[in-house]
Amino acid sequence: MFGKSLLNLWQTTGLYGFLDLNPSAGFGWGNAVMILVGFLLFFLAIKKGFEPLLLIPIGMGCVLSNIPYAYIASVDPSLAAGSQGAVGFIKILFDSGIQSGLFPVLIFMGVGAMTDFGPLIANPKTLLLGAAAQFGIFAALLGALGLSFIPGINFDLHAAASIGIIGGADGPTAIYVTSRLAPELLGPIAVAAYSYMALVPVIQPPIMKALTTKEERMIKMQQLRPVSKTEKIIFPISVLTVCAILLPSATPLIGSLMFGNLLTECGVTKRLSDTASNAMMNIVTICLGLSVGSKMEASHFLTLNTLGILLLGAIAFSLGTAMGVIIAKLMNKLDPKHPVNPLIGSAGVSAVPMAARVSSKVGQEADPQNFLLMHAMGPNVSGVIGSAVAAGVLMASVPVMEPLRILLG
């Protein structure tokens, strides 16, 4: 009797699960590997300083979701449905915040409250750089459809569009689009999008340096003109109006972004602005990070489809970065009297303000007296708008185009 009790106790330990002694439970050595991946994210965040606000919650979600028999990110099969504790707390966060699309909208509201659109208003041509950086989205969409010819990988147009949006380096937008078009891919796409957002300081500089000369990186731009308060108030209202008229499918994201910005710029709702940009943003970031990390569970993450998504996401993000730099160089050819430092083109991806900081850092490596941060914020904030617009285009067009694609074979 005592021996049987010890055996039952042994079968509830994490070590028993890691050793894969009960295959039907769905745990094994892969969970141990993913826990090590979570520890690696801790190292990158704490030791290397790679976006700790993202990587620490994601890493913790990864660790918690891979602990055998804890069922923190899933449903405990040993408990009756609906009983207390049957559903893990991270699964509750994921279902209510990510699967519903709520967290991305709240994140956009907070980003809007923290964003100054002044650099974009002062230099409107940087909007082209934000638009150019969205090239990676559509390139990855075509790439995903191409991968479908490989046995074991199957991406339809809904899935391909969801994968493509990773190229905008905008985690909330990627989650929002995927929750609408391909909810079964929410886990790997969310992980890929946020991983590449956090790794902007690693991925972008080699691409930027490869596409520019030292002389181009040393280009100093003209000081931006002052932007009036009236202009800053009119801007979010105008953008929202145009979006509502031309692309209603993008309005949830654009609308929340512009609402948050208006709270800050109008000057009469300081308490609401502070809440959106601080308390609410921090709470949602914690919940979203844990939820995203929970989808790094070994049984779902270590698959061919997931590896294909990670590869396409990296390609899309790299293409977006490169295209922004290339368009900036082209602008200099067309208008040599008002030169643009090509480095700010890489900030056209939607990772705010990480991409702008990287542009500034690489510029100062070439010339310590060259301050590009405010100039890079123009394409950076336009990239946020651009990724949301691209998301709206995909959500509006994919449901119409998929039946046609099937019909044409």
Whether the Cβ atoms of residue 378 and residue 349 lie closer than 8 Å to each other: no
Mean pLDDT of the chain: 85
pLDDT of residue 141: 84
Per-residue pLDDT tens digits for 343-385:
999 888 877 888 899 999 999 999 898 889 899 999 999 988 9
**248 CB neighbour count, 10 Å cutoff:** 14
47 SS3 class: coil
75 SS3 class: strand
Per-residue pLDDT tens digits for 24-81:
556 778 888 889 989 998 998 898 887 888 889 999 999 998 888 888 888 877 776 6
Residue 408 has pLDDT above 50, yes or no: no
87 SS3 class: strand
Question: Which H/E stretch holds residue 74?
Answer: none
Selection from 362, 367, 393, 295 nearest residue 64 by Cα: 295
Q: What is the pTM of this model?
A: 0.86
Quote the CA–CA distance of 326 and 68 in Å, as a whole number. Answer: 48
Residue 342 has pLDDT above 50, yes or no: yes
Whether the Cβ atoms of residue 187 and residue 175 lie closer than 8 Å to each other: no
Quote the CA–CA distance of 299 and 285 in Å, as a whole number. Answer: 25
Which residue's structure tokens are 């919940």?
A: 287
What is the mean predicted confidence (pLDDT) over 148-166? Answer: 80
Q: Where are the domains of the chain?
A: 96-408
Task: Name, in order, each residue with C-beta under 8 angstroms of 3's C-beta and a sequence gap of 6 or more.
Answer: none
Quote the CA–CA distance of 383 and 133 in Å, as a whole number. Answer: 7
What is the mean predicted confidence (pLDDT) over 391-397? Answer: 87
Higher pLDDT among residues 187 and 211, named by residue: 211
Q: What tokens does 343 get?
A: 């480095």
Beta bridge partners of 87: 75
